[in-house]
Chain A
Amino acid sequence: MTLPLLRLAGVTKRYGPRAAVDGVSLDVHAGESVVILGPSGCGKTTVLRLIAGLERPDAGEIWLDGRTVARAGRNLVPPYERQLGYVFQDLALWPHLTVRGNLEFVMASAAVPQDARAERAREILALVRIELLADRHPHELSGGEQQRAALARALVGQPRLLLLDEPFSSLDPDLRVVLREEVDRLQRVLHLTSIYVTHDREDASVLADRVIEMREGRNVAQRQTPRESLRS
């Protein structure tokens, strides 16, 4: 049995007296696509933020690639050393930079050699089908194009784990279906390991190898999807 890429063991995060995440345990293996499903306020976004190192756990431990990255009250490894990609719910594209500039910042931070950056950016933009929009600023893109740009930015640093926080929640249903299929395609083409947070069961059924359901800060159920059944 191989070690999981990510392991959460009894992780708890409190805001005041309320536990947003309450003793959550979870293993994610390399190449696996896990969907965390639950209603608003159930703590699923907090789980992603804990994995990314944007929050400190009050209890429990988080391992990434066999290394402890956070332990009760402390982040042992800062976010930027965890080699993650993160697509935020509101996308958080940097408004003063073009799409290429957004990607450039990630590649420079990930120490991608200067002479390889242009080609890498072109490849990723082609993969998400916005190669012609590289020199536009975020406000010059449509909603769907912004989603693709955010996805490109999360992928360009070649993360070992991709975190997606309801990235399509603000889109109309048709565009949502198209982009969901795009993410599904990218997962398969790039053999991504990903955790996708959503409250939409349809997202879960299309994207997940495994679905983890959360209620009131706890993971209450875990099930394989038809996709995983097919794989196995």
Chain B
Amino acid sequence: MTIWGLRSSRTVIVGLAVVVSVIVCGLPLAYMLVQAGASSDAYAALLLDARQLALLYNTTALGIGTALLATLIGAPLGLTLARVAVPFKPGLRIALAAPVLLPPYVTGLAWVYTAGSAGFVASVTGRDLLSEWTYSLSGAILVLSLVFYPLSMLATEVAARRIEPRLEEAALVIAPPGRVLRHITLPLVAPAVAAAALVIFVLAVSEFGVPGLLRVRVFTTEVFTAFAALYDFGRATVLTLPLLGLSIIVAAVAALLVGERLVATRRALSGAQPLAFEGWTLGTNAAAACVLGIALVIPLAVLAREALAVPSVAAVVAGSREAIRNSLVLAALGATIVTLLAVWLGYARARAPHRLGVVADVLFVVLFAVPSTVVGVGLIGVWNRAGVFGRLYGTDGMLLLAYVARFLPVAALALAAGIRYVPTSHEEAAAVGGAGWWRTMIRIVLPQIRLTLLATWIVVFILAFGELGASVLVAPPGEATLPIRIYTIIANTAPAQIAALALLQALVVLSPLAVLVLATTAWRRQ
């Protein structure tokens, strides 16, 4: 965009957003990388340790296992949503996507209450059949797959919808639907499916709550132990490095694989979908219902069943009132700050030249892939010092920084995708009409992406409300959010009370989702 000169307000606003994001998202990462150089001896010694090799094995197996299983569940569902006539499709899509918005440890807790030694299965059968398996690497893979499969599902659906229907029709004229799916549709969606699998891998190796809950030793739990139990900041830093390296490489590959499609979704020329896929309705609907039951309905039902044993829900809520209030206020503040920054970063990305845009995409994805405990340790390293930086340390501001560091990159990508749909000619027309950049943004561009702005705010609120890995490290002493409170009282509190809090958390997460559904429906009616 050459119509806005360097002297326009664009320079100040976008420049400020970039500077803030570099300080909050980039500095902790840079700090960790500098530490890597400085502690190369400790790093080498650590790598030779058989204990660390086991950690590396567990972490990698968790990532690969989750990526494969989540793809096996999610990709066929994505194809179903894109190609098969399913009743109540918009609602079903949101319900199937909901598990990814629940904090992973809530699903983990539900699984423990289902298959643990005192869980539902044990109480029905009278035998402890599944607890050994639940507290294992396989159990963690299953739980994380049930959390992350919607990412594969949504990526596959978007990719399948982007395929020009003529390509499938040209094949359907000569081959049955199964063969068309295998030879034409699947190869065309394969890059998106692979990229989603890589992102799931990164998220799984970055996940702290579920492995911690199911007692699976991986790098994220070791970082937490080194920092919070052993008070060994150096060891915690060194332990983050393999994790960081793994995440950055895989995320960069994923971003390059998807390329321009991260922020540009080309709509197919004709809206019609091939007829012949409609014959698969019965089987695919049954499969979707099964997944929905296992990933959403059963976990919520099990939590509700467990929570019913609480003598007084009001007492449980009262006992955690402070944590609930903190979570709501901080998540709302965090979502607002993230959205306000992300809209300008997204704008800069959307209007960037092609090559710069690709670099920005890779950077955003890499920053989003930085594991939560690594973000926590990095933030402490940067902000726990004398001077200006130190004033924020030990306050709730650290939690806000953690939310911005973790969720700004993904929010910027989402908003960039939204802004790409606003043609640059709209800005040019406003400029020719005499409007400045700021006025053009407020009156022309932002109104056109208001639904994307609302969706971004809601998604960031949900993510921040459930954030645990970074929060548990940077939260000031005595302050707790709901996830921190649940995580810290698991060991010494009655399951019913924990289940009630987890259910409360799930309801708070799902309520804004309902608002989003209603807003989308109202917008479509307009």
Interface residues, chain A, CB within 8 Å of chain B?
A: 52-56, 75, 78-80, 82, 84-86, 88, 90, 92, 94-96, 105-106, 109-110, 153, 157
Contacts and interface: CB of A to CB of B under 8 A. Distances in A.
B169 A54 contact: yes
A80 B175 CA distance: 5
Contact of B176 (A55, A78, A88): A78
B174 A94 contact: no
A79 B184 CA distance: 16
Q: Specify the main secondary structure of chain B where it touches its partner.
A: helix
A181 to B, nearest CB: 25
Given A94-B171, A95-B167, 20 more contacts: A52-B169, A54-B274, A54-B275, A55-B275, A56-B275, A75-B275, A78-B176, A79-B173, A79-B174, A80-B173, A84-B174, A88-B169, A90-B164, A92-B170, A94-B188, A105-B171, A105-B174, A105-B175, A105-B183, A109-B175
B276 A94 contact: no
Contact of B174 (A55, A90, A96, A109): A109
Interface residues of B, number: 20
Contacts of A92: 164, 166-167, 169-170
Contacts of B179: 109
Which of B164, B174, B176, B179 is most buried by chain A, counting CB atoms within 10 A of its CB? B174
A134 B367 CA distance: 43
B275 A94 contact: no
Nearest to A109: B175
Given A94-B184, A109-B179, A54 B172 contact: yes
B174 A88 contact: no
A92 B163 CA distance: 11
A76 to B, nearest CB: 13
Contacts of B175: 80, 105, 109
Contacts of B447: none
B34 interface: no
Given A90-B164, A90-B269, A52 B184 contact: no
B49 to A, nearest CB: 45
B174 A157 contact: yes
B173 A54 contact: yes
Contacts of A90: 164, 166, 269
Given A54-B274, A54-B275, A84 B171 contact: no
B91 interface: no
B245 interface: no
B234 interface: no
A18 to B, nearest CB: 15
A86 B166 CA distance: 11
Contacts of A75: 275
6 contacts: A52-B169, A86-B173, A88-B169, A94-B171, A96-B188, A153-B170
Contact of A80 (B164, B172, B269): B172
B276 A79 contact: yes
A80 B170 CA distance: 10
Nearest to B168: A92
- The list of the 3 closest CB pairs from A to B, nearest first, reads A109-B175, A92-B166, A92-B170
Contacts of A56: 275
